[in-house]
A and B are shown apart, each in its own frame.
Chain A
Amino acid sequence: AQTVTQSQPEMSVQEAETVTLSCTYDTSESDYYLFWYKQPPSRQMILVIRQEAYKQQNATENRFSVNFQKAAKSFSLKISDSQLGDAAMYFCAYRTTNSGGSNYKLTFGKGTLLTVNP
């Protein structure tokens, strides 16, 4: 079974600075998807960014980018020019590309709570 590990329960960053959140995963599959979700105090789960394992190029969405190291099974999230609104719990998640059944479920890490200091 796949597992996702986020080793940093909490992180903090100064406004306008850059922060990197770590995520490692364990899988025997060669193709899969990886996601970062943001959960603000409202508890809404919001997709931040996603990466397809067969793509070597790291995904980027505005101030958010990932460092995907497939051999190391590492998928870190970099937030540039941090803003107060970035404060939230961030979850790393894994999904197989195998179709059907519960294969489409997401396997989540335990999350990293990000605080942004003004």
Chain B
Amino acid sequence: AQSVTQPDIHITVSEGASLELRCNYSYGATPYLFWYVQSPGQGLQLLLKYFSGDTLVQGIKGFEAEFKRSQSSFNLRKPSVHWSDAAEYFCAVGKNQGGKLIFGQGTELSVKP
């Protein structure tokens, strides 16, 4: 069965420090992979997506993610975190098509001044 695992429930980083959020997936074929961010009281905003091609994808707000098929991973990175990045981050895999998504449990990011 398809699944997504985000091993870290909560991460705290200092402002200006680098960030990596982990995501592992289980999927039989080449997956469609996504990272979304949810700020308190808000809906989900798409940060970036991977469908095919270059395994390093760039997204909005300075985020990037790397697809590693051998590790079944799609980790999200940012070189320098800003206080406004504090939010919940969800990794998702497309279930047979882009629209039907299976989400990980989410990682809550806190940013220390």
Q: Do A and B come from one complex?
A: no
Interface residues of B (CB under 8 A from A): none
Interface residues of A (CB under 8 A from B): none
